[in-house]
Structure 1
Amino acid sequence: MNEENEFLPKDPDFRKLVKKAKRNSVLRIVIISLIISIIVVTATYFIGNSIMINKVNEEVRNDAIWHNIHGANIEEQGTSINYSLFSAISKTEFVKKVNGIPVPWVPVEKVYSIFGQSKIIISEGASGTGNVDQKRIPMYFNGERVIEFIHPNVNSSLFDDRSIVSKMDDDKVVELALSFDKGYKVTDVQKIFNKNISWFWVNTYSESDIKNYNNFIKETGKDFTIIGDDAIGFHYINQPESKWGAEYFIRNLKELKRNSSYKDVADKIIQNITHNNKEKLSAENLEIIGVVITGTPSEIRKFNNVPFVRAASLGVTVDRY
């Protein structure tokens, strides 16, 4: 046996075979490892990409439903999405339609992560400048006025921008937000403003909200208004069977309540509308506390003497042609 052990290592051909076998074995291991790595990376990419796409698509869909009821006279125009392996960035465009003329409004960009919740990274908000002692500082976005509302039960100083509209010529079309002295039925409001209505403002505020707003006025000496971008309501639809869009508003709220990301806010809105479930959630029970109307100055002037209008706020003004 000793002679054989001494003989084997000294055999040149055998050494070559051993070295070749080792090289082949190492090469085989490298190739197999490379193939497995490619398969794992590819599978991870496709699985991660699939999860990311499904997550983003669901959020974009839910955001679209939310945008149907959030923001006065603001319409979502669509969302573009850029994907990477474990994240994505979306940009949603919005417009205001003033007598049918689209005006670009505040865009929103969000970042999504497969490992966490989405976050808004860019939202160019409205801004205003003025003296700190002023009770009301008009807000602007892209050079256009931002509409404001006053709740019927908020003791804020009143303003009436209809006087500004009255001085305009009919080569313009304007957006005007009207705040009411109390809540009214959808059908009653529609009969008065008819097709000049663009959007209905719904009373979705609790007694606690109103108390906080009035306390703010007392403590600061400043007025409290709700800018149109933060208001809740629905677009006017020329369909009597849908109660001029109110039925779609109810449907959207119910859909949002079933969704995790908007469930809490939708539930709070429903509780406030129904007075903590004392009333049925229906189009007939909605309290309309304001509207957005659009048209030429002469069309808007028709509503100068509506008795239950408490305040009027000028918004977007564009050329008619």
Structure 2
Amino acid sequence: MDEITEDIFDEKRIKKALKKGKRKTIITIVFVSIIVFVVLTVANFAISTYYSEKAYKQWDAYVRLTTPNGYISETVDSNGIVGGQSHYKVSKDMKIKSIVTEQSQYYYGLKSASLISRGHGGSIGITGEDWQFTYKENGWREMLFFHPDVTYKKYNNDEDLITQMEGDKIYEVALSFDKPYTFSELPLYGLPEMTWFWLNTYSESQLGIMQEEAENHDWSSTFVREHGALGFSINTAIPSANNFKGGYTNFLKLLQTSAYIDHEKAYSKMKDMKPDDVEVLGIVIYGTKSEVAEIIKKPLIKASSLGGVIDNY
């Protein structure tokens, strides 16, 4: 009888021990799962943040290089697994205020898409009776540039268009020079307070391709589009050599930061070049009708192209 009772108690003890062990196992699994979840969440956030910051710097550099006085003014990130997507706005500094001109998105993370050029529009070889302009999302025309070392069949000139426009406005105008100038050689004494300088970042092979296109294709499609012109701004009416040197130093840093292949090539060409030897191919100015007209008439201006227009207030 005692043996039977002892067996029953032993069985109860075993079941109790098993139940207790099972409960501990479940608690341990839940606890470990929570820790793993927290660790993975924190790790994913850290990785996503790292790649988000890296992608932002690359894209902001791209925008600043290829959009005169442009910059990323707002980003909204949507994180996923070790990466995500960022929606961003591009704004242009128009001297008296900034205007949002475009909205787009980029991916970032371990499996993000590579940085590529944004669409420039237009096609070489298409014939037309007018220049093949492309437009920003806000309706502004993208400016046209003409390299001084390339001979084009025709050059765009928007002087009459600007003259005919009414109202008190601030005009953004791209001006291409008759030849490359170093900063010290520029025959411009007094500019609008904010001026963007277009630099000669092109290799001999690129110039050869541009010249071949200008000779063999329709004039309406042969020019340098806004995103293909690289430069930087100086925000003073009388820029000095030190202003230019400082802007150029930052320009090189942006070329290094951008992940666009053409910017890597430009950096390879420019990295050992001294500011005094850098060639300026043109400028983008921001001014009233009278300010713009005064500069367009100067002998060194070969072509002019109107970009954005805002009310002067």
TM-score for both structures, normalised by structure 1: 0.82
Match of 1:143 in 2: 139
One-letter code aligned to 2:204: E
Q: Determine if the alignment matches structure 1 residue 182 to structure 2 residue 183.
A: no
Query: Following the alignment from structure 1 to structure 2, what is the Cα–Cα distance between the partners of residues 78 and 186?
Result: 34
Residue 45 of structure 1 aligns to a residue whose secondary structure is helix
Query: How many Å apart are 1:88 and its aligned residue?
Result: 2.5
What does the per-residue CA deviation read over 1:254-295, in whole Å, with 9 as the maximum and x for residues that have no partner?
A: 4653x5x64965552134347xxxxx5222111110111121
Query: Following the alignment from structure 2 to structure 1, what is the Cα–Cα distance between the partners of residues 65 and 253?
Result: 12
What pairs with 1:1-321 in structure 2 (closer than 5 Å)?
11-113=7-109, 115-119=110-114, 132-134=126-128, 136-141=131-136, 142-156=138-152, 157-189=154-186, 191-192=188-189, 194-195=191-192, 197-222=194-219, 223-238=221-236, 240=239, 243-254=242-253, 256-257=255-256, 262=259, 265-273=262-270, 280-321=272-313
Retained in 2: the 8 A contact 1:108–1:120?
no
Retained in 1: the 8 A contact 2:231–2:251?
no
One-letter code aligned to 2:273: L
State which drifts further: 93-102 or 292-301: 93-102
Query: How many Å apart are 1:59 and its aligned residue?
Result: 3.0
Query: How many Å apart are 1:98 and its aligned residue?
Result: 2.8
Query: Following the alignment from structure 1 to structure 2, what is the Cα–Cα distance between the partners of residues 252 and 304?
Result: 26
Query: How many Å apart are 1:303 and its aligned residue?
Result: 1.9
Query: How many Å apart are 1:158 and its aligned residue?
Result: 0.9
Query: How many Å apart are 1:99 and its aligned residue?
Result: 3.7
Residue 282 of structure 2 aligns to a residue whose secondary structure is strand
What does the per-residue CA deviation read over 1:217-263, in whole Å, with 9 as the maximum and x for residues that have no partner?
A: 34433431222133210012328566434423324414653x5x649
Query: Following the alignment from structure 1 to structure 2, what is the Cα–Cα distance between the partners of residues 290 and 68?
Result: 17
Decide whether aligned partners of structure 1 residues 186 and 8 sit closer, same or farther in structure 2, where only a CA change above 3 A counts.
farther
Retained in 1: the 8 A contact 2:47–2:83?
no
Decide whether aligned partners of structure 1 residues 301 and 31 sit closer, same or farther in structure 2, where only a CA change above 3 A counts.
same
Query: How many Å apart are 1:89 and its aligned residue?
Result: 2.2
Decide whether aligned partners of structure 1 residues 266 and 139 sit closer, same or farther in structure 2, where only a CA change above 3 A counts.
closer
Retained in 2: the 8 A contact 1:98–1:295?
no
Structure 2 unpaired stretches of 5+: none
Query: Following the alignment from structure 2 to structure 1, what is the Cα–Cα distance between the partners of residues 101 and 155?
Result: 26
Retained in 2: the 8 A contact 1:146–1:227?
yes
Retained in 1: the 8 A contact 2:83–2:111?
no
Query: Following the alignment from structure 2 to structure 1, what is the Cα–Cα distance between the partners of residues 218 and 117?
Result: 32
How many residue pairs match? The answer is 307
Retained in 1: the 8 A contact 2:184–2:241?
no
Residue 303 of structure 1 aligns to a residue whose secondary structure is helix
Query: How many Å apart are 1:191 and its aligned residue?
Result: 3.4
Decide whether aligned partners of structure 1 residues 108 and 189 sit closer, same or farther in structure 2, where only a CA change above 3 A counts.
farther
One-letter code aligned to 1:186: F
Query: Following the alignment from structure 1 to structure 2, what is the Cα–Cα distance between the partners of residues 314 and 256?
Result: 26
Q: Percent identity?
A: 23
What does the per-residue CA deviation read over 1:138-176, in whole Å, with 9 as the maximum and x for residues that have no partner?
A: 222222121110111223221211111122234222111
Residue 10 of structure 2 aligns to a residue whose secondary structure is helix
Query: How many Å apart are 1:192 and its aligned residue?
Result: 3.5
Q: What's the Cα RMSD here?
A: 3.2
